[in-house]
Amino acid sequence: MRTYVVSGAASGIGAATAALLGRDGDRVITVDLHDADVTADLGTPEGRAAAVAGVRELTDVVHGLVPAAGIAGRTGVPGDLLVSVNYFGAVALVRGLHAELAAAQGAGVVLLASNSITGMPGWNAPVAQACLRDDEARAREEAAQVDSVMVYPSSKAALAWWARREGVKPEWAGSGIRLNSVAPGATETPMVDQMRADPLLGPAVDAYPNAIGRLGRPEEVAATIAFLLSDGASNIVGAVLYVDGGTDAMLHPISPPGWEVGPIEA
């Protein structure tokens, strides 16, 4: 029996992932603000420490970790809160459970990026740069000055790049821990329902192009995550796998132009 940890497991992609991973009898430890095995607020250092401690009380080995907790960039959501939850909360959980992941002698981590990385040109580069430098105070300061809709892709790009940069290092791949990420497109989750209700951003949700004629489903993203955690993906490290019905390919069939975010130095 394997043991998995999923944050943001009370709804959306996190809930679908927890359900899929537990379907064959494996153990899934859930983390969320409520309705979870471990209740904690990943938006604060204290909450992150509590989350790690709570998981450690339940297991000393973690075969797979999915830090799926996150909030959307929409009207009324502070950008500084978003970056603390989406990036620093996720990375703290991964780092905090390093020993338990290494104890599995073959573990996987799948971070939740987003196709907004390439689908929303002009997002805020200084936020991503501060994230990759582990400077939460600066990231929050930068994010507070920008609409959170443009902070969201910054936080998700930073996650994908962190997994690529760190995943090949001895302390991760060299310790048998594979870091990868998925980049979903618009997916039928409570987060997207909130976006639809946004008076400014709502119309854009269903106007986003895709090749399959519908938004994604949480279970489709969960299936991809489960594959990346499986032994079948044992040679995959640092990948960013788009699960978006072809949106990224439609927008950038040859190369992704128009990012207009400037160089990222970290």
| Nearest-angstrom CA–CA distance, 163 and 140 | 21
Extract the tokens encoding 85. Answer: 């939850």
> Given 4, 87, 152, 242, which residue is catalytic?
152
Residue 180 pairs in a beta bridge with 110
What b-and-e string marks burial along 211-242, b requiring 16 or more CB atoms within 10 Å of the CB?
A: eeeebbebbbbbebbbbbbeeebeebbbbbbb
Q: Determine contact, residues 110/229, Cβ cutoff 8 Å.
A: yes
H runs (alpha helix) in the chain: 12-21, 45-58, 79-83, 90-96, 98-103, 116-119, 125-132, 136-143, 148-167, 190-196, 202-205, 218-229, 247-251
Question: Quick check: is 152 catalytic?
Answer: yes
Distance CA 261, CA 128 (A): 10
Could you tell me which residues come within 8 angstroms of residue 173 by beta carbon, excluding any fewer than 6 positions away? 167, 179, 237
DSSP secondary structure letters along 185-202: -SBSSHHHHHHHT-TTTH
What is the Cα–Cα distance from 186 to 247, expressed in whole angstroms?
A: 9
For CA atoms 232, 237, 243, 248, the dihedral sign is: negative
The residues annotated as belonging to the active site are 152
